[in-house]
């Protein structure tokens, strides 16, 4: 927590220089003084440090240990191979109990030997998911903990292991060199209030997602555009470029941007482009870039590909 607060304070100190960068970002090769460049690089590095803190957090992506799709009716689970759902060996009782799926409700029936708890108290029967609720309830057994997730019409178990070897061995994510030339001024063109973009995820499900509009910009003189998606206070972008599948992840990268100002200007900072969780774990359900967000240039900024989970 102290580290997070320090990072936020340091990022605040950089704001006066970033105001100047807003004026310079329309140029593909902004001329910055050594001090301005150092301040900008520090701001991006602090952002990335916070990004890694989030990845390593208890509810980050490194400790995911399984993703199991449920079927209607009874789904037995435990470490024994005869179960419908097989949890990691040695981490839970061989026969831990079963899930009962009725419509969009999931009830957990636990055996005593599984020592499953909810909020620190032993349970033997609990409704762990109801589609009317905000989210599923997290239950635990030893170092394992899990919750029910919903993806379209599918319900699944998202399993975490607090003693994950992947988390222990994580050393960071390689990036391209920070370049102010990839901090670009874009023009935002608002879309109709009912406009949506078809987004397909790695599971193969396609969903129509609200899109507030499109960004128009140039990279090395080439005119480009990106559809943005709605986020809580910003816009969310899923994009691919000519590095995708080679230097960067085959499923594209993510980027958040602040909403447009009074002149409909948005700052695209590709130095903050980052990998979807599917780069880190095979147990995520990442959205993929829509066709119109495949850029015909190389964006050698932001995170490079990581690990072995590549499309």
pLDDT at residue 4, as a whole number: 52
Per-residue DSSP letter, 199: E
pLDDT over 80 at 7, yes or no:
no
> What is the C-alpha to C-alpha distance for residues 43 and 237, in angstroms, rounded to an integer?
21
For residues 211 and 236, the answer to whether their CB atoms sit within 8 Å is no
pLDDT at residue 306, as a whole number: 87
Task: Convert the pLDDT of each residue in 81-112 to its tens digit.
Answer: 999 999 999 999 999 999 999 999 999 999 99
Task: Convert the pLDDT of each residue in 255-299 to its tens digit.
Answer: 999 999 999 999 999 999 999 999 999 999 999 999 999 999 999
> What is the C-alpha to C-alpha distance for residues 241 and 257, in angstroms, rounded to an integer?
18
Q: Which of 163, 190, 218 is the last residue of a domain?
A: 163
Statement to judge: residues 142 and 262 lie in one domain: no
Statement to judge: residues 38 and 72 lie in one domain: no
Statement to judge: residues 152 and 228 lie in one domain: no
Number of domains, the chain: 2
When the pLDDT of each residue in the chain is averaged and rounded to a whole number, the result is: 90
* Strand, coil or helix: 65: strand
> What is the C-alpha to C-alpha distance for residues 284 and 201, in angstroms, rounded to an integer?
10
Statement to judge: residues 35 and 181 lie in one domain: yes
The mean pLDDT of 11-38, rounded to a whole number, is 59
Statement to judge: residues 7 and 112 lie in one domain: no
Domain span at residue 186? 2-60+171-293
Q: Which of 163, 179, 209 is the last residue of a domain?
A: 163
The mean pLDDT of 143-147, rounded to a whole number, is 98
pLDDT at residue 101, as a whole number: 97
Element (H, E) at 53: helix 34-56
- Residue 35 Cα distances to 21, 38, 39, 42, 175, angstroms: 12, 5, 6, 10, 22
Statement to judge: residues 287 and 231 lie in one domain: yes
């Amino acid at each position: 927590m102290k580290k997070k607060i320090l990072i936020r304070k340091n990022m605040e100190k950089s704001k006066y220089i970033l105001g100047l960068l807003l004026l310079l970002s329309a140029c593909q090769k902004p001329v910055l003084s050594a001090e301005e460049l150092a301040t900008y690089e520090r701001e991006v590095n602090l952002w990335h440090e916070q990004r890694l803190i989030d990845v390593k957090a208890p509810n980050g992506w490194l400790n995911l240990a399984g993703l199991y799709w449920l079927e209607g009716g009874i789904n037995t689970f435990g470490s024994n191979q005869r179960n419908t759902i097989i949890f990691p060996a040695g981490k839970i009782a061989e026969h831990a109990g079963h899930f009962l799926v009725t419509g969009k409700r999931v009830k957990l029936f636990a055996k005593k030997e599984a020592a499953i708890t909810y909020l620190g108290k032993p349970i033997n029967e609990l409704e762990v998911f109801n589609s009317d609720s905000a989210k599923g309830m997290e239950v635990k057994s030893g170092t394992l903990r899990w919750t029910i997730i919903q993806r379209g019409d599918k319900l699944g178990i998202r399993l975490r292991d607090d003693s994950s070897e992947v988390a222990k061995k994580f050393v960071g994510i390689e990036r391209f060199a920070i370049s102010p030339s990839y901090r670009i001024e874009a023009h935002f063109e608002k879309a109709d209030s009912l406009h949506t973009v078809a987004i397909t995820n790695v599971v193969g499900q396609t969903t129509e997602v609200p899109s507030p509009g499109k960004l128009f910009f140039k990279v090395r003189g080439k005119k480009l555009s990106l559809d943005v998606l709605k986020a809580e206070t910003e816009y969310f972008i899923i994009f691919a470029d000519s590095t995708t599948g080679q230097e960067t992840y085959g499923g594209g990268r993510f980027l958040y941007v602040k909403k447009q100002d009074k002149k409909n200007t948005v700052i695209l900072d590709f130095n903050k482009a980052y990998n979807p969780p599917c780069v880190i774990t095979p147990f995520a359900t990442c959205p993929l870039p829509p066709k119109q967000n495949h850029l015909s240039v190389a964006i050698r900024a932001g995170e490079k590909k990581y690990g072995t989970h590549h499309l």
